[in-house]
Structure 1
């Protein structure tokens, strides 16, 4: 009996350690600390963006080698929502993920359409900063099982951005509690990123 209790205890400890490793150690910032693009222009934001940089409380620099550039296309709908299609290389094939971002509160802030079907408690998208024709920095936060995961994406209209924009992105990320270890700059790939959404 004592041996079986010991094994159960060790198994439970292993489960708790696995959960601790998957839960983020850095809490999501209060939304009041996350900038929002002033005078957001929905039509100008629409179109295809390359994912040039990523940072988040579930990323570490150990993921850098696996991180590959992908594209996300925002198609503005009549109700001012976006049909959002991300196209990325997974294995040897191009995968597409389609979702809907519905306006929420202020211009430039959205939530995920059909939220509950994704098993999420909450989902927030905020366009933090953009000049529409070169770059955008977008904040994403999702709540799953009472845990908040967040990421900031650095978009480019092209596959390359000026080093000063990457540095500004890194500084912005740090102002929200992340470190340089949480920043990834995906490797350029030819596959999938030039496919039409």
Structure 2
């Protein structure tokens, strides 16, 4: 009887420790500079909206697990800085933006320091989905791209919708 009680207590302790481990995984620190290695869209992105060049993304951790994201968009030969907040949800690694109109899912890859940031929502009455494979350094990562292609397959997005814009460290407006 004592051995049965000890077994039950031990299993309970293992379950609690496992739950704490899972919570720690959910507390991943996404703060810092991120470099895009590739993008995909579900077919709803018009050709004129596909970025030619991209820049590092800066993420800052806020209170309660929320994140502030700073991106630079290249448009008509000019740099435009844009900030938005990603609000943590009850679901692990799921955030909402733009007053709940868009959902962002962050998926950790097996490739060290690489994640997929996948955003979906509605825009002008159409459902859209867009994903980015991001890393903490600017070096190319064939392993991360292979994992990204598997993700794209799981999402049932055509592989031809994957593209790799030119990555620039800094945004310098074009001179006349």
Q: Which moved more, 1:82-91 or 1:103-112?
A: 82-91
Higher strand share: 2
**CA offsets 1:4-57 (integer angstroms, 9 cap, x no match):** xxxxxxxxxxxxxxxxxxxxxxxxxxxxxxxxxx922342x1111112211011
Task: Tell whether 2:149 aligns with 1:170.
Answer: yes
1:15-34 matched pairs, under 5 angstroms: none
Question: Would the alpha carbon gap of residues 184 and 83 (structure 1) be closer, same or farther in structure 2, given more than 3 Å must change?
Answer: same
Q: Which has the larger radius of gyration?
A: 2
1:41-190 matched pairs, under 5 angstroms: 41-43=27-29, 45-57=30-42, 58-59=44-45, 67-115=52-100, 122-130=101-109, 134-190=113-169
Gaps of 5+ in 2: 1-23
Cα drift, residue 187 of structure 1: 1.4
Cα drift, residue 144 of structure 1: 2.8
Give the TM-score taking structure 2 as reference length: 0.71
Is the CA contact (8 Å cut-off) linking 1:81 and 1:103 kept in structure 2?
A: yes
1:33-44 matched pairs, under 5 angstroms: 39-43=25-29
